[in-house]
Amino acid sequence: MVIAVIAILAALLLPALAKAKMQAKRIQCINNQKQLATTWMLYVADNNDKVAANGLQSPPSTAVKFWIQGAFTPTNPTERTNFRSMLDPNYAQFADYIKTTKVYVCPTDTPEVVVSGVKYPRIRSYSLNVYVGWTGAWDDRMRPFDARGPLYKIFKKHSEMISRIPGGTFLFLDVNPNSICWPYFGMQMSSDSFFNFPGSSHNRAANVAFSDGHVDTHRWADPRTYNPSSPDFHHHSDASSGNKDLVWLRERTTVPRF
């Protein structure tokens, strides 16, 4: 009888405990992103409204500083485990504010990332909106663009973001562990396709930090978003026609340049 009672109690309690554990991880991820958003805002305050730089640099260089550097790329293995490109002020603008890589890792994320069939330690789960602070030559895989760059606004100042997208521009978000690559989260603004896939480890949802400092948990509606499939997640062009999640992201990414 005692064993039967214990079994019944375990059956009742284990799902609740699992749910509580996932909730605790979601809260930790929210706290991580709040710290990233706060750091981003501190940088803005310290630099006369100018936002932190974002972009593509391979390999990491002291000649160009972004919010952080380093990438999970097939071509440069040394970038995949390079803590220095995140914590050294000579490489990373956030290094003056954040002294540990733990802030960059969601507790629901996989402990390892696989690139070209090789496993590497997971050192980052989040990326920054590509249209926020982009510096240097534009990644032309995100068309359309002209001789002056992309046809959508690249925000260089915090005040520009407030006036152009009153509902809030997204800054950081969870990235799908198969899709994470550069420090920026790429967006195709003129086509229904994913450059990077957002994460969905919080019960088919991702945590998203915004330019006013708040963080929301957004649940994805389309299975192609929360359960993506791609022959090459680093090809950065996965079609997803009519995907409402892409519409939601684009509305919070940027606005037309003109």
Tell me how far apart the alpha carbons of residues 180 and 128 are, in angstroms, rounded to a whole number.
11
Pairwise pLDDT comparison (11 vs 193), residue with the higher score:
193
Q: What is the pLDDT of residues 199-229, one digit of tens each?
A: 999 999 999 999 999 999 999 999 999 999 9
Q: Where are the domains of the chain?
A: 23-56+108-251
Is the pLDDT reported for residue 11 higher than 70?
no
117 φψ region: left (φ > 0), alpha (ψ -120 to 50), beta (else): left
Closest by Cα among 58, 129, 155, 67 to 103: 67
Provide the pLDDT for residue 148. 73
**β-pair type (193-194, 184-185):** unpaired
Mean pLDDT of the chain: 87
Pairing of strands 126-129, 184-185: parallel
Contact 185, 128 (CB under 8 A): yes
Task: Give pLDDT tens digits for 152-172.
Answer: 999 999 998 877 776 689 999
Does the pTM surpass 0.85? The reply is yes
pLDDT for the residue numbered 164: 72
Res. 195: pLDDT tops 90: yes
Q: What is the pLDDT of residue 211?
A: 93
Confidence label for 81 from pLDDT (cuts 50, 70 and 90): low
CA contacts within 13 A on the Cβ side of 79:
21
pLDDT at 6 over 80: no
The letter for the amino acid at 6 is: I
d(CA 230, CA 247): 20
d(CA 105, CA 28): 10
pLDDT tens digit sequence for 21-44: 778 998 999 999 999 999 999 999
DSSP codes joined into one string, 134-202: B-SS--TTS--EETTEESB--B-BHHHHHHH-TT--EEEEEB-TTT--SSEE---SSSSEESSPBP-TT
Asked if residue 82 lies in contact with residue 60, where contact means CB atoms within 8 angstroms, the answer is yes
The predicted-structure confidence for 49-65, as pLDDT tens digits, reads as follows 999 999 998 888 899 99
Q: CA-CA distance, 185 to 115, in Å (whole number)?
A: 18
| Rounded distance between C-alpha atoms, residue 225 and residue 203, angstroms | 12
pLDDT at 9: 47
In 3D space, the residue among 244, 252, 105 whose CA is nearest the CA of residue 177 turns out to be 105
Q: Which amino acid, residue 251?
A: E
- Confidence band, pLDDT 50/70/90 cuts, at residue 19: low
Gap between the Cα atoms of 103 and 54, Å rounded: 18
